[in-house]
Amino acid sequence: MEEAVTALLDNDTIEGIDILSKEYNMDRTMVINDLIREGLRSKIKKRALELYTSRKITLQKAAEMIGVSIWEMLEIIKKEEIHIDYGIEELKEDTEPLIKQ
């Protein structure tokens, strides 16, 4: 489903959108959609990592937020050089859905 949304953008942002539009031969709407999707993914990933490092969510929950497997999440954490503090309780919570299948 699509919905029209109105947003006021500053001139620098519009100029950047127009540059990308010409560079990639895309209309403004396509460029804006791509930028928003990319920004959302980045913000969600950042928030999931913040919540994980502050121990507010488990590794599995962080992976679900980002939309990756737990193994991919471990790679992200390694790449970001985040200490993995993974205990028995997290293991139980993360494997519970697998056991129920």
> What is the mean pLDDT, run by run of 10 residues, along the chain of 101 residues?
92 97 96 97 97 91 94 92 76 73 66
In which domain, by residue range, is 96 found? 11-100
Sequence letter at residue 83: H
Whether 47 maps to a domain, the answer reads yes
Whether 2 maps to a domain, the answer reads no
Distance, in Å, from the CA atom of 101 to the CA atom of 98, rounded to the nearest integer, reads 5
Q: Within 10 A of 19 (CB to CB), how many other CB atoms are there?
A: 11
The pTM of this model reads 0.75
Q: Within 10 A of 90 (CB to CB), how many other CB atoms are there?
A: 17
From residue 66, give the alpha-carbon distance in Å to each of 29, 50, 72, 91. Answer: 25, 12, 10, 19
Structure tokens at 79: 């790449």
Sequence letter at residue 90: E
Whether 79 maps to a domain, the answer reads yes
pLDDT of the residue at 92: 75
Question: In angstroms, how far is CA 56 from the centroid of its own chain?
Answer: 17
Whether 59 maps to a domain, the answer reads yes
The domain tally of the chain equals 1
Whether 57 maps to a domain, the answer reads yes
